[in-house]
Structure 1
Amino acid sequence: MSGDETRGGTPRRFPRRVYGTGDEPDPRFSLANERTFLAWVRTALALLAAGVAVEALALPLQEVLRQAAALLFVVLGLLAAAQAWLGWARVERAMRRGRPLPAPSLSALVAGGVVVAGVLLVVGLLL
């Protein structure tokens, strides 16, 4: 049975923790939430690619700073992917329950981490 099929007249959709609660919101809001999810996924991919690039390219950086920046970018990419999923689920549940939308839980950490990684790269280039 696919996610769109029904059993007993009730649609079965994954994840049940999200779709099993509240009322169906306006589709425009759900689609906007999905676009935000996809933007976080793109951000996660870009951060992962930055980490791989910093490590793979022969940049004129001190090795320890290069490795720290590369690792930080990879970790931030993983956090952004987690934010994509968790943020989508939290917002969808809030919309279904008619509650205020929650703030992104990991966005400040990701933004701060990008600043730190950038500082590591700049310091590494200047030394």
Structure 2
Amino acid sequence: MTGPRPPRSGLAAVRLWFAPERLREEGHTPDYRFSLANERTFLAWLRTAMALVGGGFAVDQFLTDTTRPLRLALSLVLLAGGALCALRAINHWIRCERAMRRGEDLPSSRFPVALALAVGVVALGMVLVVAFGWGV
């Protein structure tokens, strides 16, 4: 094992997405249960991303009584949220795995709050559209 490494630049961190075996060069191998829990969290983020993408397509296909610009806006927010969620899942998985290998605190993130607020705003918008016929 070598000494602590400086934080990786943005591009170097993204390279780890495609070569996660390079993580083994850092620190100590954590208890496999923690790595598996990290992987389950990653998969939960991916399920959330897929649900957002599906929701975006559903809004576009099923809220046909609304104006196209409103329907498109709601759909795009959900689709973009799904894409961001999938990318964030990869980044969070790598950051957590590195922190565990180095014996550091797990990284914190504001993304779950931002995602929850965005989904809540879109859901409220859809409730208003459906309940009151706004955007017709």
TM-score normalised according to structure 2 size: 0.77
Preserved contact between residue 79 and residue 106 of structure 1 (Cα < 8 Å): no
Q: Is 2:39 the counterpart of 1:60?
A: no
Partners of 1:19 and 1:82 in 2: CA distance: 22
Structure 2 unaligned blocks of 5 or more: 1-17
Counterpart of 1:93? 98
Counterpart of 1:9? none
Deviation at 1:32, TM superposition (A): 0.3
1:69 to 69, 74, 80: 74
Partners of 1:111 and 1:18 in 2: CA distance: 30
2:109 to 104, 109, 118: 104
Identity across the alignment (%) = 43
Q: Deviations over 1:22-81 (max 9, x none)?
A: 110000000000000000001000000000111122443333221111000000001110
Counterpart of 2:9? none
Partners of 1:36 and 1:86 in 2: CA distance: 12
Greater helix share, structure number: 2
Preserved contact between residue 79 and residue 110 of structure 1 (Cα < 8 Å): no
TM-score normalised according to structure 1 size: 0.82
Partners of 2:48 and 2:99 in 1: CA distance: 24
Counterpart of 1:80? 85
Q: Deviations over 1:78-98 (max 9, x none)?
A: 111012101101110010000
Taking structure 1 as reference, are residues 36 and 77 closer, same or farther at Cα in structure 2, changes over 3 Å only? Answer: same
Preserved contact between residue 63 and residue 71 of structure 2 (Cα < 8 Å): no
Structure 1 unaligned blocks of 5 or more: 1-12
Counterpart secondary structure, 1:99:
coil
Q: Is 2:46 the counterpart of 1:41?
A: yes
* Pairs aligned (count): 115
Q: Is 2:32 the counterpart of 1:27?
A: yes
